[in-house]
Amino acid sequence: MTTKIFCDIAELDLIKKFNKKKIVKGFTTNPSLMRKAGAKDYKSYSKKILKICNNKPVSLEVFADDHKAMKQQALQINTWGKNVYVKVPVANSKGVFMGKIIKELNNLNIKLNITAVYSAKQTEKILKLINKKTKVIISIFAGRAGDTGKDPVPEFKKSITMAKKFKNVEILWASVREPYNYLQAKQLGCHIITIPPTTIEKIENFGKTFDQLSKETVKAFLVDSKKSKFKI
């Protein structure tokens, strides 16, 4: 199985650039990336993204924290484009499982990207609620789990195994820390991995020999030493 690469970004110029790359099969965003990109109006900014990328999946996240407001936002976001996946968190800021909203939106045949998932137990709870026809992405945060000393790999293995019963469900490796995560995601059988732009560019350079890397590394040292005009 091929692991699809999505680009995790909100800057419009970078979306234009990476939308042209064949290696990139979709885009993910979140409120933090939107803020970093300078978005002031969430709706108008999201529509600018969708105007650039209208033929690949784009995940746009709700930012409400309660059920009623979250549903209202999700219903609105869903109308912005046929390629939109509405991104909803597995739990709100109080730690309350958002199962009710996940089930309601799934029953309305709204494509979902369920985010901030960390464990196979959370995946299991999600799978118990959804149907077997409406597309669902389950985003498991590998890097953030690793940052706390926890190994995310067993959670992926269990989640991927459970998801095999659902042809409409894809497991996504989120929170990438290095290019090697792409190879890990492929080996595990993840359907998707979402990656920052700079890391995607590094992946495009996969295949270099150790000798080539040694040569390039020393060249970089040489260039910097000359620029600094070092002398001993």
Q: What is the pLDDT of residues 123-182, one digit of tens each?
A: 999 999 999 999 999 999 999 999 999 999 999 999 999 999 999 999 999 999 999 999
Among residues 87, 165, 226, 231, the one annotated as catalytic is 87
- The predicted pLDDT at position 140 comes to 98
Find all residues with CB under 8 Å of 35, minimum gap 6, and list them: none
| Per-domain boundaries in the chain | 4-228
Cα angle, residue 190 at apex, residues 84 and 17 outer, rounded to 5°: 50
Fold of the domain spanning 4-228: TIM Barrel (3.20.20)
- The predicted pLDDT at position 152 comes to 97
The number of angstroms, rounded, from the C-alpha of 186 to the middle of its chain's C-alpha atoms is 15
Neighbour count for residue 19 (Cβ, 10 Å): 18
CA distances (Å), origin 104, targets 33, 44, 100, 137: 27, 26, 6, 16
Given a contact cutoff of 8 angstroms between Cβ atoms, the answer to whether 3 and 185 are in contact is yes
pTM above 0.75?
A: yes
Residue with tokens 């020999």: 209
Residue with tokens 């909203």: 101
pLDDT tops 80 at residue 1: no
pLDDT tops 80 at residue 42: yes
Residue 16 bears catalytic tag: no
Q: What is the spatial distance between Cα 93 and Cα 159, in angstroms, rounded to a whole number? A: 23
Q: CA torsion sign, 80 to 111 to 37 to 179?
A: negative
- The predicted pLDDT at position 51 comes to 98
